[in-house]
Amino acid sequence: MNPPTQLQKTVSERSSAINRRTFLHTSAGAVLSTTLLQAAITNTQPVDLPADHRDLVQRRRIVIQHDVFWVMRNYATLHPDGNASFAPFRDAVFSYVDEPGSQIDAIWWDIGGNASGSVYPSKVAPTVTPPLVQQWHREGLDWVEQLVNETHRRKLEAFWNHRISEVDLLPEGGHSKVPDPLKVEHPDWVLPTSWWPHGMWNLAASGLREHKVALLHELATRYDLDGIQIDFARHVPCLPVGHQWELRGHVTQFMRMVREMLMDVAQKRGRPFLLAARVPQTLDGCHADGFDVKAWAEQHLVDVLTLGSRSMDVDVEAFRAAVGKGVQLQPCFDDHHATDGYRYGSIEFLRGVFANHFQRGADSVTTFNWSIGTPEVARLIGGEIAPHTHQVAFKEVGDPSTLTGKDKCFAVERRGGYPWADGFFNRNDTAPLPQILAADGRAAKFTLHISDAPPIKDVKANLTLRCILFQADEADVFEFQYNGTPLSIASRDVEWKDAQIFSPKPQPISGYKPRTIDPNQRLLRLDCVVPREAWKRGRNEVEVRISSRELSKNSTVQVEKVEAHLLYP
């Protein structure tokens, strides 16, 4: 990879206060030596994968990362009398999966969300479990086993998603006022963070790596899983801040340890055991957080990379160039902690997000924090109430053929909304919007990815560029170019409103409940028709500038959203 970019410098500067409090420890408490660091990255030989593993081609359309831990807790809250039987819960969490026409081919169970206890009878992790799980255990029911078996009964792939560093939660819900006992017992396993008082797990600690491999081995041998995903999205940092790339070898070593352990399990059970990892959506982001995905691919340490979490702009092309065709790539879109300004977007927006992923070379796509079923089903067990767009999307967005010829919306990414990270992952800090327009007429430049090529002459399709501006006046004059072609403004709405734009107030954190539209809000919406000969499949360059504004105006004009709306009449 290239030397540190401005991105890494920005992340390092933002985390300088943490860096001053961060020390690298061995298990004996001494400062990590260069010798130990080199030993951690000495073994760079490719792992020799057996033939049945190399020949396995797992075809997926949609992978759902199914976060049912929270649904289980909400389900228990709905039944304070303790009469929360498993069957209604089971049927509800498979609701969208079971619908005719579903393109869901894999369920990656994200149910280890309780850092202070185990969601199954464990001999490695602490045994404190949520009350409802304890009830089911007393009834002789292992809910993890049931969910995995039900997944296979539907002939779908079942993975376990392991959150590499979770916050300390109480089994009954709420944040713990005291840290995990393991953090007290092993302070060298812990990294201080700006946002969580008990710190995050430190993969530079060899004892922690060994503990996590033991935990994953227990899971791999207890349940009939097809694979395990190491989820670095929850949370960063997992290496000392300011030293992530320098210490990347420790994460690579951890991935090797997990890979070799899973290969041993696979040999004993007689079929492959796959390994995936969820990493940031760009190579620079991986560099900033200490994930050497190119080395992982070269050393055969990973089968699948899940790219990003709450981003719609995923650099699939760069990952493909770095890891080759031997690693499957699947961008992820979280619609709870959604990209800023687009939570619960329209079906046209979701089509645009996923169609772009495939156009850029994705093998499959992943959804995270999506609804389990219709609002009616979700209410029965305490699932998140989301629009019916998810129901439609699960039948469309996993296959380019079912997206062809359908209306889409393509958008430029917005920054912010995710404070729970000291690093790059999830923050979208490098997104270009919002952006203040230069008063001197210099253009603001944006890249829009468009999955669809201009259609042949006998197919109708209209592309409209839309720009939403804050603090623009009716008399202001703006100019647009699309791939160098000047555009005329076709419509102008000086009373436009958007419930997910909060200027001049700061945006709330991701996961907020969309507010009702402020009747006093005044945004300016400008629409420009893009000639067919001006747009193209892939990268499209957009320029926006102020060409005329009263000199007396001392407020700045801010670009809030840039979108392209593709309609097939």
Q: Rounded to an integer, what distance in angstroms lies between the CA atom of residue 502 and that of residue 50?
A: 54
**Gap between the Cα atoms of 65 and 89, Å rounded:** 17
> What percentage of the chain carries pLDDT values higher than 90?
79
418 within domain boundaries: no
**% of the chain surpassing 70 pLDDT:** 91
Q: 421 near 510, Cβ under 8 Å?
A: no
CATH number for the domain harbouring residue 460: 2.60.120
Q: What share of the chain is helix, strand, coil (3-state, %, to 5)?
A: 30, 20, 50
The predicted structure's pLDDT at residue 23: 36
Is residue 415, in this structure, part of any structural domain at all? no
For the chain, what is the domain count? 2
Q: What is the pLDDT of residue 18?
A: 44
Three-class SS state of 194: coil
- Show the tokens assigned to 116: 């202070």
- Domain enclosing residue 155, as ranges: 6-42+52-403
Phi-psi region of 220 (alpha: psi -120 to 50; beta: other; left: phi over 0): alpha
Q: Is residue 40 scored above 60 in pLDDT?
A: no
209 within 8 A of 153, measured Cβ to Cβ: no
pLDDT of 175 reads 82
For 501, left (φ over 0), alpha (ψ -120 to 50), or beta?
A: beta
- The rounded mean pLDDT for the chain is 90
Give the Cβ contact number of residue 547 at 10 Å. 9
The closest of 276, 312, 270 to 449, measured between CA atoms, is: 312
In this predicted structure, the answer to whether residue 136 has a pLDDT above a threshold of 60 is yes
Residue 22 within a domain: yes
- Chain position carrying tokens 């696979």: 266
Each residue's pLDDT tens digit, 473-492:
989 999 999 999 999 999 99
Identify which of 514, 234, 561 has the alpha carbon closest to the alpha carbon of residue 368. 234
Pairing mode, if any, of strands 104-109 and 157-163? parallel
Q: Are residues 11 and 157 in the same domain?
A: yes
- Domain co-membership, 128 together with 220: yes
**pLDDT for residue 187 is more than 60:** yes
What confidence score (pLDDT) does residue 71 get? 92
**What are the Cα distances from residue 319, in Å, to 17, 228, 308, 323, 331?**
32, 21, 12, 6, 11
Which pLDDT does position 457 carry in this prediction? 75
My answer on whether 507 and 397 are in the same domain is: no
d(CA 63, CA 103): 9
Instruction: Give the pairing of strands 62-66 and 365-368.
Output: parallel
Kindly state whether residue 321 falls inside one of the protein's structural domains: yes
| pLDDT score for 169 | 79
For the cut 70, the answer to whether the pLDDT of residue 9 exceeds it is: no
Residues 307 and 392 in one domain: yes
Domain assignment of residue 544, yes or no: yes
Least confident of 142-146, 276-280, 329-333, 554-558: 554-558
**Residue 394 and residue 463 in one domain:** no
Which region holds residue 272: left if phi is over 0, alpha if psi is between -120 and 50, else beta? Answer: beta
Q: What is the pLDDT of residue 398?
A: 98
The torsion of the CA quartet 280, 285, 291, 296, rounded to 10 degrees, works out to 70
Q: Give the Å distances, CA to CA, from 482 to 203, 205, 445, 469, 501.
A: 46, 51, 10, 18, 25
Residue 315 sits in the same domain as residue 382: yes
Strand stretches in 224-289, DSSP E? 227-231, 274-279
Q: Indicate the range of 138-152, 159-173, 176-190, 418-432 predicted with least confidence.
A: 159-173
Alpha helices in 79-117 (DSSP H): 86-93
pLDDT at residue 493 is higher than 70: yes
Distance of alpha carbon 245 from alpha carbon 3, whole angstroms: 10
- Measured distance CA(163)–CA(161) in Å, rounded: 6
What average pLDDT does this structure show over 18-45? Answer: 48
**Looking at the predicted structure, is the pLDDT value of residue 55 above 70?**
yes
Whether the pLDDT of residue 116 is over 80: the answer is no
Confidence of residue 256 (pLDDT cuts 50, 70, 90): very high
**159: Cα separation from own chain's centroid:** 17
Is 410 within a domain? no
Structure tokens at 496: 């436009």
Tell me what pLDDT residue 32 has: 43
Looking at the fold, whether 381 and 443 belong to one and the same domain comes out as no
Euclidean distance between CA atoms 246 and 193, whole angstroms: 19
What phi and psi, each to the nearest 5 degrees, are found at residue 546? -90, 125
> Which residues have C-beta within 8 Å of that of residue 569, sequence separation ≥ 6?
460, 461, 462
Q: Convert the pLDDT of each residue in 433-447 to its tens digit.
A: 999 999 999 999 999
How far apart (Å, rounded) are the C-alpha atoms in residues 348 and 287?
A: 33
> Within 10 Å of residue 343's Cβ, how many Cβ atoms?
21
10 versus 516: which is more confidently predicted?
516
- For the cut 70, the answer to whether the pLDDT of residue 5 exceeds it is no
- DSSP string for 406-447: S-EEEE--B-----S-SSSTTT-TT--BSEEPPTT-PPEEEE
Question: What's the rounded mean pLDDT across residues 80-86?
Answer: 91
Q: Where are the beta strands (DSSP E) in 7-94?
A: 62-66
Average of per-residue pLDDT across 309-333: 97
Q: Are residues 483 and 546 in the same domain?
A: yes
Q: Residue written as tokens 């092993």?
A: 186
Tens of pLDDT, residues 355-408: 999 999 999 999 999 999 999 999 999 999 999 999 999 999 999 999 999 999
Token pair for 387:
């629009």
Same domain, 322 and 468: no
Predicted pLDDT of residue 372: 95
Strands 190-191 and 200-201: antiparallel
Of the listed ranges 130-144, 264-278, 481-495, the one predicted with least confidence: 130-144
- Within this chain, do residues 299 and 381 fall inside the same structural domain, yes or no? yes
Question: Do 138 and 243 belong together in one domain?
Answer: yes
Query: Does residue 151 sit in helix, strand or coil?
Result: helix
As a three-state string, the secondary structure of 305-328 is EEECCECCCCCHHHHHHHHCCCCE
Kindly state whether residues 118 and 203 are assigned to the same domain: yes
pLDDT at site 452: 97
If you compute the radius of gyration of the chain from its CA atoms, what whole number of angstroms results?
A: 24
Position 428 in a domain: no
pLDDT at 531 over 50: yes
Confidence of residue 180 (pLDDT cuts 50, 70, 90): confident
How many angstroms separate the CA atoms of 24 and 31, rounded?
A: 5
Least confident of 92-101, 285-294, 307-316, 501-510: 501-510
Contact 158, 226 (CB under 8 A): yes
Confidence of residue 118 (pLDDT cuts 50, 70, 90): confident
CATH number where 56 lies? 3.20.20.80
The pLDDT score that the predictor gives to residue 389 is 97
CA 533 to chain centre: 35
pLDDT in tens, 449-472: 999 999 887 789 999 999 999 999
pLDDT at 8 over 80: no
CB contact set of 1 (below 8 Å; sequence gap of 6+): 283, 287, 292, 294
The answer as to whether 179 is a domain residue is yes
Q: How far apart are the first and last CA of the chain?
A: 46
pLDDT band at 119 (very low <50, low <70, confident <90, very high): confident
